[in-house]
Chains A and B, each alone.
Chain A
Amino acid sequence: MNVDFILYIAINTLVVLAIAPLFVSMIKKVKAWTQGRSGPSVFQTYASLRKLLTKEVIYSPSSSRIMRITPLITIASILVAALFVPLIFVPEPVGGIGNIILFLYLLALARFFMALAGLDAGSSFGGMGSSREMSISAIIEPTTIIVFAALAFVFKTLNIFDMVSRMAPGLPAAPTLILISISLFIILIVETSRIPIDNPETHLELTMIHEGMILEQSGRNLALMELAAAVKLTVLMGLLINLIVPLGLATSLTLIGILIAVILFVIKGSILAGIIAIFESSMAKKRFFQLPSLFAMAFFFSTLIIIIEVFS
């Protein structure tokens, strides 16, 4: 663990925390535009989070310690997972940080606790949310793992750092990258609970999944959960962006380089946020039990990449 890496931890965490709410608002803004509304300001999410932090926390009498520790564990594991995807600056990887398998399982750790917290208060909404979330995460997992295995296969490394810094032994051709980016995009949509899987804007019990799980959270705990969701979105977006267009990523620590990288990342991220918003607006939410067929499609798509790669 050298100085560079400690600085990387600080910079990456601060940047991701600072940018994440912005991307969330941007998606909302673009969605509002497509619906012909002007929408909230792009800084609305910051204000909402600040407001939540000043509110009291309410626990249901039937909830246990799980409810109390879940927000902290969720944000901690998502923030550690965020370290695995260099957003603006790529140092030398240390101690297995950047490993894609561990990255996936850190996300799973957060999901596990969220699902338990959903069951903890004993309300039927929470249980519904966690049941659906765990089911969806289970059936999307084969696709996710195949996409990540395809990444490892084409880059010939397991480390995200080496992939984005293009230091990996294998460099994929452009068509492969496009195929991978489509699969990663589907995973991004599923993992961050967006249309057509889930609707992040609704609190209607028939449709919600992720929002159902965190329905019992309030005050600063809710702020943490929302922030964790935003950070997860940003990290997955960052993974997609930096794998496809690593342009502008700093490899050494200079103030100018970091500044340019941050600006470039915000620009690239805004474009992707726009794409996500337009994708969401052009779709309707699917029925829950139609999702497996959607995932099957994604699965065959990602298997296709591998078959092309294996036999080419």
Chain B
Amino acid sequence: MIIELFLLAIITLLAGTIVPLLAVSVNRRYIRTISLCCPIFASLFLGALSLVVLFSGETSGFTLYQPITEFSFSFVIDRLASFFLLIIAIVSACVALYFSEYVEHMDGSSRRNILCGFTSLFILAMVLVVSSANSFCFFLFWELMAASSFFLVTFEYTHDETKKAGLFYFFMTQLSSLFVLLGIIMLYLESGSFAIAPIHGASTLPITAAFLVLFIGFSIKAGIIPFHKWLPYAHPESPSPISALMSGVMLKIAIYGLIRFLLDVFTPDLWWGALILAAGITSAVLGVIYALKEHDIKGMLAYSSIENIGIIFTGIGLWVIFSASNLPLLATISLLGALFHSLNHALFKSLLFLTSGSVVHATHTRDIEHMGGLAHRMPYTSALFFIGAVSISALPPLNGFASEFLIFTAFFTSVAFVSPLFKVLLFICLALFALASTLSAACFVKAFGSIFLALPRSPQSEVAKEVPRAMLIGPGILAAACILLGVCAFQIFGIVGFNVPLPDMFLISLLLLGMGVLVYVVLYVTASREVRVSETWGCGSRSQQASSEYTGHGFSEPIDIIFSAIYRTRTKNERVFFDLKNCIFREGTGEIHLLKVFEEYLYNPISQLFMQVATKVSRFQNGCLDTYLLYVFVTVIALIIFLGWFA
């Protein structure tokens, strides 16, 4: 049954890809609706099959086509794969629901058909990556995923920003594929097959090298710092539902790859875990610190994705450390934390991207400084965004808390077991982890406050309207899932068969609700019920103005100053005075220059190096036939000498 469902899902997604491409010149709504219905149906099939596999725990596999003996297109669906299939299914269904309305408000006439087709193809590629049974198959679909997402990112290819983002994305994603391919080839040389199967023996140099190469490949795709730069470029420029898919699901595919190879192929060393942990913590802290500084709503969400991927990597790192030091219970908690956070991040991040898409749609700007006051104008969108914000800030009783709680618990209980040196490392990581967690709360207070609260700060947000109902259903389902997974986290883990040390969040939620209701009733009976809506104190001005509000920049200013060493903000003041004693100011200039550390110190030097090498190499290619004949001649001579020497 599982295989039939799987094939059905694939065929549906293929249909969703082909239909709009066949009717590419027909600018009709029904074509796009049909195309986007396919992912929804496919998600239903995938969701059903992954739930069956998750509960029953049985693994099923099949081979679709075997061109040569060493390689076949075969697929395996086990519990891990089905978990990630579930993530893909939930998010794609909600995104497609939202997209079917969103796409009608976009520019691009019949070209939008292609967008819908490629969305299906992108989802299909992700499904196939997750269910691939061998590493070469994995790589092929990985590449399909990269290519199809590139076309989605560059949909608005006429904009200069989008062009730059697309190129950046294409380069980074190809770099990632290159590393993954290299890793797979190294594994093939070591084991002699493409099967994703354990490599026996100690971790020798080639195996370690293969791990490192794969790790870099997956890190680039997942957006781990310092390979993160493509996220803040690509996410803001792509259509919001596509950002939701990429951030919510595609990054998780990289996580899946890492977990799959660590679990099934390698026998990890302790220091591998320390490496993953360090990468994760760095990304978590720096990601959220940069997110606080970002005032492009989608750029902020992109940086926050980097933070959350960091949290997931932290969980994975802890899992590797604990399993290498023979602490199976703690290892399970950390891995479950990482996996659960993958699911949760997929839910709340796609929720946030979709609702921010609605906000951008309503206000025609991505700058949060030009928003404000939207809570009155877009009540439903603001409520949905709010649920996402609470979840991502890891506040109880929603789902973000449940997964971070597992990782915290692993940290807290681990220190009694590992060696002293690791204890110190874990304590430092714990402190940084906590820092990232609270900074993300600060970041989303700022975001929600600037976008939705107080007075509108621009004419566009003054006249913003609530989005059509169809654009609320998809995010609504995601928000409901966030609440459900948070409140019933303990019960859900129980049903799936893991006994985790989570507090009973259902009880806590009931207590919270009970206390709230009790206080309300007591107040209703005893206190004054009078309510007046009236101007409050505004420093003596007659009525409040948007210009006197605290802006997003103002909100994050204290954090800017405290972490100025990380932001590397350069301020420059030049003043000219009338008098010699510098008392009477005449004129002056002041500028604040935000240093993009990674871009200026890492990316640009490397790209310059490549450009230099490329300039030198390009001299060989001068377009003159004689030179090419010379090359051929030299090559033939060299070949003859070489063969003569060895034959």
Please determine whether B412 and A289 come into contact, CB atoms closer than 8 angstroms: no
User: For window 362-400 of chain B, which residues contact chain A by CB distance below 8 Å?
Assistant: 373, 375-376, 382, 390, 393-396
The CA of A75 and the CA of B523, in the complex, are separated in Å by 12
Q: Which of A59, A96, A122, A134 contacts B502 (CB 8 A)?
A: A96
Q: Which of B373, B396, B442 contacts A62 (CB 8 A)?
A: B373
Please determine whether A124 and B431 come into contact, CB atoms closer than 8 angstroms: no
The CA of A112 and the CA of B329, in the complex, are separated in Å by 33
Please determine whether B448 and A122 come into contact, CB atoms closer than 8 angstroms: no
Please determine whether A288 and B396 come into contact, CB atoms closer than 8 angstroms: no
Interface centre among A79, A108, A119 (most CB of B within 10 A): A119
Chain B residue total in the interface (Cβ 8 A): 83
Q: Which of B412, B424, B559 contacts A310 (CB 8 A)?
A: B424
The CA of A292 and the CA of B558, in the complex, are separated in Å by 11
**Does B519 have its Cβ within 8 Å of any Cβ on chain A?**
yes
* B140-154 interface code vs A (CB 8 A; 1 in, 0 out): 000000000000000
The CA of A278 and the CA of B99, in the complex, are separated in Å by 61
Please determine whether B536 and A58 come into contact, CB atoms closer than 8 angstroms: yes
Q: Which of A56, A127, A153, A156 contacts B555 (CB 8 A)?
A: A127
Q: Which of B453, B532, B544, B562 contacts A57 (CB 8 A)?
A: B532
Please determine whether A101 and B412 come into contact, CB atoms closer than 8 angstroms: yes
User: Given A119-B449, A120-B453 in contact, is the A307-B424 Cβ separation under 8 Å?
Assistant: yes
Chain A residues touching B, range: 35 or more
* A186-210 interface code vs B (CB 8 A; 1 in, 0 out): 0000000000000000000000000
Closest residue on chain A to residue B558 by CB atoms: A135
Q: Which of A76, A99, A123, A224 contacts B512 (CB 8 A)?
A: A76
Closest residue on chain B to residue A170 by CB atoms: B416
**Does B420 have its Cβ within 8 Å of any Cβ on chain A?**
yes
**Does B3 have its Cβ within 8 Å of any Cβ on chain A?**
no
Please determine whether A131 and B558 come into contact, CB atoms closer than 8 angstroms: yes
- Secondary structure call for the A interface: helix
Question: In angstroms, how far is the closest chain A Cβ from the Cβ of B620?
Answer: 55
Please determine whether A127 and B554 come into contact, CB atoms closer than 8 angstroms: yes
**Does A252 have its Cβ within 8 Å of any Cβ on chain B?**
no
Please determine whether B424 and A158 come into contact, CB atoms closer than 8 angstroms: no
Q: Which of B267-275, B403-411, B464-472 contacts A (4 or more CB under 8 A)?
A: B403-411
Please determine whether A146 and B430 come into contact, CB atoms closer than 8 angstroms: yes
Please determine whether A80 and B512 come into contact, CB atoms closer than 8 angstroms: yes
Question: In angstroms, how far is the closest chain A Cβ from the Cβ of B523?
Answer: 6
User: For window 149-206 of chain A, which residues contact chain B by CB distance below 8 Å?
Assistant: 149, 152-153, 156, 158
Q: Which of B103-111, B236-244, B474-482, B545-553 contacts A (4 or more CB under 8 A)?
A: B545-553
**Does A40 have its Cβ within 8 Å of any Cβ on chain B?**
no
Please determine whether A60 and B528 come into contact, CB atoms closer than 8 angstroms: no
**Does A256 have its Cβ within 8 Å of any Cβ on chain B?**
no
Question: In angstroms, how far is the closest chain B Cβ from the Cβ of A80?
Answer: 5
User: Given A105-B396, A123-B544 in contact, is the A158-B412 Cβ separation under 8 Å?
Assistant: yes
Residues of B within 8 A of A65 (CB): 375
Residues of A within 8 A of B61 (CB): none
The CA of A271 and the CA of B544, in the complex, are separated in Å by 46
Residues of B within 8 A of A80 (CB): 508, 511-512, 515
Please determine whether A141 and B437 come into contact, CB atoms closer than 8 angstroms: yes
The CA of A307 and the CA of B415, in the complex, are separated in Å by 11
**Does A83 have its Cβ within 8 Å of any Cβ on chain B?**
yes
The CA of A3 and the CA of B439, in the complex, are separated in Å by 40
Q: Which of A101, A137, A220 contacts B409 (CB 8 A)?
A: A101
Please determine whether B508 and A97 come into contact, CB atoms closer than 8 angstroms: yes
The CA of A146 and the CA of B428, in the complex, are separated in Å by 9
**Does A299 have its Cβ within 8 Å of any Cβ on chain B?**
yes
User: For window 132-154 of chain A, which residues contact chain B by CB distance below 8 Å?
Assistant: 132, 134-135, 137-139, 141-146, 148-149, 152-153
User: Given A94-B507, A127-B555, A138-B439 in contact, is the A56-B528 Cβ separation under 8 Å?
Assistant: yes
Residues of A within 8 A of B646 (CB): none
The CA of A187 and the CA of B405, in the complex, are separated in Å by 21
Residues of A within 8 A of B394 (CB): 105
Interface centre among B396, B438, B557 (most CB of A within 10 A): B438
**Does B174 have its Cβ within 8 Å of any Cβ on chain A?**
no
Question: In angstroms, how far is the closest chain B Cβ from the Cβ of A240?
Answer: 20
Question: In angstroms, how far is the closest chain B Cβ from the Cβ of A251?
Answer: 22
Question: In angstroms, how far is the closest chain B Cβ from the Cβ of A232?
Answer: 14
User: Given A131-B556, A158-B409 in contact, is the A59-B442 Cβ separation under 8 Å?
Assistant: no
Residues of B within 8 A of A36 (CB): none
The CA of A138 and the CA of B292, in the complex, are separated in Å by 12
Please determine whether A142 and B519 come into contact, CB atoms closer than 8 angstroms: no
The CA of A149 and the CA of B562, in the complex, are separated in Å by 25
The CA of A145 and the CA of B147, in the complex, are separated in Å by 43
The CA of A144 and the CA of B376, in the complex, are separated in Å by 37
The CA of A123 and the CA of B550, in the complex, are separated in Å by 7
**Does B531 have its Cβ within 8 Å of any Cβ on chain A?**
yes
Task: Give A contacts to B, CB under 8 Å.
Answer: 1, 9, 13, 53-66, 72-73, 75-77, 79-80, 83, 94-97, 99, 101-102, 105-106, 108-109, 111-112, 115-116, 119-124, 126-128, 130-132, 134-135, 137-139, 141-146, 148-149, 152-153, 156, 158, 215-216, 219-220, 223-224, 288-289, 292, 299, 303, 306-307, 310-311
A-B contact pairs, 18 of them (CB 8 A): A58-B534, A59-B536, A73-B516, A76-B516, A95-B508, A105-B405, A109-B396, A119-B550, A120-B454, A127-B454, A131-B554, A134-B446, A138-B441, A139-B435, A156-B416, A223-B527, A306-B423, A310-B415
- Since A58-B536, A60-B534, A134-B445 are in contact, a sample of 19 more A-B pairs with Cβ atoms closer than 8 Å, ordered by chain A residue number, is A53-B527, A63-B453, A76-B516, A95-B503, A96-B507, A96-B508, A101-B409, A105-B405, A124-B550, A127-B554, A134-B442, A141-B435, A141-B438, A146-B430, A224-B523, A289-B558, A306-B415, A306-B427, A310-B415
Top 10 nearest A-B pairs (CB, nearest first) are A96-B503, A127-B550, A122-B454, A95-B504, A119-B449, A56-B530, A145-B434, A142-B431, A134-B442, A64-B375
